[in-house]
Amino acid sequence: MEIRHQFLSIGGETRHCIAVLHEGQQTEILEKGPHITKDEADAFLNHLKLIFDAATIITVSGSLPKGLPSDYYARLISLANHFNKKVVLDCSGEALRSVLKSSAKPTVIKPNLEELTQLIGKPISYSLDELKSTLQQDIFRGIDWVIVSLGAKGAFAKHGNHYYQVTIPKIEVINPVGSGDATVAGIASALEHQLDDTNLLKRANVLGMLNAQETLTGHINLTYYQELISQIQVKEV
């Protein structure tokens, strides 16, 4: 597989994240990772300007490494906005909260129900009315798409003034690691190809499901794409 990349070297070692699958269970062993210096952080933002020249959609995923301030993603998104690039953001905690409080807004955020609960500061149920009222709060103002992952229950999404319930079929989950990233890839692909709301949500969810059905992380078998996507239901609510 040939993937074009423009990595930026740093002084620290890239961390290992190991997932052990055993008897239907999963154990993760996650290294802490390197400490990023201020010079490295600034160099990466400058490096992004080169990447922006060749990209239309930017995906920003994962937790911030040690050494980076909580507003680093907000700074990155501000830079992307300056270059008129769409941004799909998949993070949580203070990094996400900092983005939501800033004037720099991503195109899409993709919290799960637990992360949404942390943002709001109170438990949130699967109730459609409660999800809808939650996404109407001022904290989400200015964000084009908010897609809330609900695991086996599918997703709930807000696009502008439109709200959608996404129902997915039951599947055999083999390895869920990377399914969130596969979903982000589906969102980015749909934005790039200017798909309508229904097909954006279907593509996002089907790629996450296909990844979960494989042993290898970040791998999908397109043989089952049409079969699965035809079973995903998107309803405006």
CB 146 within 8 A of CB 140: yes
- pLDDT for the residue 35: 95
Has residue 40 been placed in a domain?
no
Has residue 76 been placed in a domain?
no
Q: Which domain holds residue 219?
A: 145-237
Has residue 168 been placed in a domain?
yes
Has residue 173 been placed in a domain?
yes
User: How far apart, in whole angstroms, are the C-alpha atoms of residue 217 and residue 220?
Assistant: 9
Has residue 89 been placed in a domain?
no
Domain count, the chain: 1
Has residue 70 been placed in a domain?
no
pTM: 0.92
Q: What is the pLDDT of residues 2-27, one digit of tens each?
A: 777 889 999 999 888 888 878 778 88
- pLDDT for the residue 1: 60
E-assigned strands of 70-161? Answer: 86-90, 108-109, 145-149, 155-159
Is 53 a residue whose pLDDT tops 90?
Answer: no
Has residue 183 been placed in a domain?
yes
- pLDDT for the residue 96: 96
Other C-beta atoms closer than 10 Å to the C-beta of 96 total 22
Has residue 227 been placed in a domain?
yes
Q: What is the pLDDT of residues 109-150, one digit of tens each?
A: 999 999 999 999 999 999 999 999 999 999 999 999 999 999
